[in-house]
Amino acid sequence: MSNADSLLVYTHPDCLDHAFAGHPERPERLTAVIDRLNESGIMDEVTLVEASEASGDDLSSVHDPDLIEILRVNERTDAIVRIDQDTYLSPGSNRAARLACGASTEGIRAILRGEAQRVFCAVRPPGHHAEINTAMGFCLFNTIAVAGAVALATPGIDRIAILDFDVHQGNGTVDIFKDDERVLVVSSFQEDFYPMRYMDYHNPHVVPCPLAANTGSRDFRRAVEASWLPAIPRHNPDLILVSAGFDGHAQDPLGGLSLSTDDYRWITALIAGLADEHCEGRLLSTLEGGYDLASLADSVEMHVSELLK
Ligand SMILES: [Zn+2]
């Protein structure tokens, strides 16, 4: 990393206020991540930034105004509101989701102002299942897609790539950008698994990499190299955005892959190399899944350590 060589880490304590007892997507996930970044000394090497809420204009650049309004009016101060079987609103959920998107949009703007090359957003709830008009799969707003839309509204940013290595297919990101040739969406995910939407969908700028259950390190790395490496130079993006989900780890209670902590070091190094080669190093990553606290903390430590190199 050259000038503006600090890694920016965006977060906000109010991202902990989206909470429903017993749900796997719980505040302790983010606490585990922040604690590990502090205990490892990594936090001393980054520039920590407190996120602000994303504006309605930024959210509506990818989401239907009805979804934005549904989340706002259903945010009760005294009760949990169910969106679907595994997605809910608690007091503080709408603010947490807006802060997550504010982290990614502010991070993108900092990169585009030349204040940083790399950004990590330590936020929740995750975002990549949220479609244009639907919150689902623990996700309320699509954090990475909102950031992508902000980038594309900036002069000089003509093409972006979104890379998603969460164990679940990023159906929301595909839904939002499937008709936008400026956006390459490449992903790796467990086949025949949640969300069962857009699982087989592909076109020249949507490149899925399905993985069989129990896929381990060697086959994961081979599959990603075969799928991603030809697609990214072909698209020649100006910026790389990452949906960083760590629920493909062998220890994860929800995912069914057998990835190791070192696989997250490997894929982060691969992505950083692609950003250096094609995008002048410009890379923004945001936290998606990862539900085993110990392996999540280990994997995020690996991820952020690589981003710091
Ligand atoms: Zn996931």
Q: Is the pTM of this model over 0.85?
A: yes
* Residue 1: inside a domain: no
User: Is residue 142 included in any domain, yes or no?
Assistant: yes
Question: Is the residue at 2 inside a domain?
Answer: no
Q: Which residues contact 59 (CB under 8 A, 6 or more apart)?
A: 68, 98, 101, 141, 146
Asked if residue 104 is part of any domain, the answer here is: yes
Catalytic residue among 18, 129, 249, 278: 129
- The Å distance, Cα 3 to ligand 1 centre, comes to 34
Per-residue pLDDT at 64:
98
CA of 264 to the centre of ligand 1 (A): 14
Ligand 1 centre and the CA of 127: distance in Å? 10
In the reported structure, the alpha carbon of residue 163 is separated from the centroid of ligand 1 by a whole-number distance in angstroms of 14
Domains contained in the chain, number: 1
Does 39 reside within a domain? yes
In a domain, 199, yes or no: yes
CATH number, domain containing residue 108: 3.40.800.20
**119 lies in which domain range?**
8-308
In-domain check, residue 134: yes
Reading the chain (309 residues) residue by residue, the pLDDT tens digits are 444 578 999 999 999 999 999 999 999 999 999 999 999 999 999 999 999 999 999 999 999 999 999 999 988 888 899 999 999 999 999 999 999 999 999 999 999 999 999 999 999 999 999 999 999 999 999 999 999 999 999 999 999 999 999 999 999 999 999 999 999 999 999 999 999 999 989 999 999 999 999 999 999 999 999 999 999 999 999 999 999 999 999 999 999 999 999 999 999 999 999 999 999 999 999 999 999 999 999 999 999 999 999
User: Domain for residue 3, yes or no?
Assistant: no
Question: Is 129 an annotated catalytic residue?
Answer: yes
